[in-house]
Amino acid sequence: MVMDHVTTLECTICGAEYDPEQVIYTCPEHEGVAGILEVKYDYDVIAENFDADLDGDIRSQWKYAAFLPVDDDAEPVTLNEGGTDLFDAPNLSEALGVETLVKDDGRNPTGCFKDRASSIAVTKAKHAGRDIITCASTGNAAASLSGYAARGGLDCRIFVPGDAPEGKLAQPLVYGADVLAVDGTYDEAYDLSVEVTEEYGWYNRNAAINPFQVEGKRTVGHELAEQSVVRGEVPDWVVFSMGDGCTIAGAWKGFREFYELGHVEDTPKMLGVQAEGASAIHDAFHKHDDTDDLADTIADSIAVGRPRNTLKACRALEESGGASLLVSDDEILEAEKLLGSTEGIYSEPAGATPVAGVETALAEGVIDSDETVVVTSTGFGLKDTASAKQATADAHRIPPHLEAVQELFGTSAE
Ligand SMILES: *Cc1c(COP(=O)(O)O)cnc(C)c1O
Ligand SMILES: [Zn+2]
């Protein structure tokens, strides 16, 4: 096995270093899974191996294989994740009052950007000869992992909170996973999955504790950097919703890498958005000590009470000169409707949360109206139609007669 470009796994708390060829999830010096590890690279090796054209033609995230922590001889398990469009959004820009672009990551193979990470996790597990892979999830990570496990021929066992949306429970079942719907919260499902990993030795893809799989999320940053090169402009802000905080941290790391390697001339500020009912990262970033571990929001993908990656997320916000803020569930639902009706992009609530964040950031003077903003839609709307219905008016229920239509729209002669 060779990963010449990976130098070490470094503890984000105490700085201890571990051998990347061993399967270590977290630094044993700290209680529980607190000691999150960070993958460190030799960028000379990466630069030598990365010779792709930054021409905006991105078939999948494996264009950036030189950056990914998999062995040279590992066969990627892929469904062409990544390579998502960065759309101009003139109608949305006008509605918001600021130039806005949409990175549409809801178009990934299972309908969510987590596919970027699942592809790495299953590739590594398969290459290491594992045949059972597991994770805990608010829903999307489970659906995503199940799809990639099926693709890679691995068994998948997943832990989700019992109240996850129906669509997100149906998806992993179709992909053939064993779905364990835990009678409890996401945080409880998470703890159970970690306990089970220790007991059975299954390969655990949990975003925060598995230091490798989160590295796939860097590719959204690589793509945004490449797409900035093609557009000739780096956005002032890139906006993500935050649950565990891995996504915004990964995206920042990816963008920063391209900047440090000289591929792009500037970096954006990262704006992290959480729901009022699940605000732990925001509270930590603003050093509020009155935080609780409640997770009460309609945006189930970011309903995380005890985020596992608060440290990495806060570093991304800090290093980029960014900010964090909170939005209400009503604002999230409004944003879902706004994004859909202005641009034809249908996001689940957590995917529309960045749009709500931009509105708040403008109102609070965090974002200026002459700046450029990228909102990342992280998940596709059809995963959760029940919450969408709360954002929209009902269908017009009519009898099958012309008169009924005329009653609504008037007669054609009018
Ligand atoms: C998981 C998820 C998030 C949050 O990502 P974290 O890495 O947990 O911060 C946001 N949106 C969607 C659609 C997700 O599935
Ligand atoms: Zn440590």
pTM of the complete model: 0.94
Q: For ligand 1, atom 2, which residue shows the shortest CA distance?
A: 301
Q: Which atom of ligand 1 sits closest to the CA of residue 250?
A: 7
pLDDT band of residue 24 (cuts 50, 70, 90) is confident
Model pLDDT for residues 73-115, shown as the tens digit of each residue: 999 999 999 999 999 999 999 999 999 999 999 999 999 999 9
Give distance in angstroms: CA of 191 to centre of ligand 2: 20
Which pair of tokens denotes residue 43?
């960028």
Say how many C-beta atoms besides its own lie within 10 A of residue 368's C-beta: 11
Q: What are phi and psi of 361, to 5 degrees?
A: -65, -35
In angstroms, the first-to-last Cα distance of the chain is 75
Q: How far apart (Å, rounded) are the C-alpha atoms in residues 207 and 138?
A: 11
Task: Tell which wins on pLDDT, 296 or 270.
Answer: 270
Q: How far apart (Å, rounded) are the C-alpha atoms in residues 128 and 139?
A: 26
Which pair of tokens denotes residue 313?
């997320």
State residue 61's pLDDT score. Answer: 97
Dihedral Cα 368, 376, 390, 243, nearest 10 deg: -100
Which among 365, 377, 349 has a CA at the least distance from the CA of 278? 349
Give distance in angstroms: CA of 308 to centre of ligand 2: 15
Model pLDDT for residues 250-265, shown as the tens digit of each residue: 999 999 999 999 999 9
State residue 414's pLDDT score. Answer: 61
Q: Where are the beta strands (DSSP E) in 289-368?
A: 323-327
* Domains identified in the chain and CATH numbers: 86-109+214-391 (3.40.50.1100)
Which among 198, 79, 76 has a CA at the least distance from the CA of 127? 76
State residue 261's pLDDT score. Answer: 97
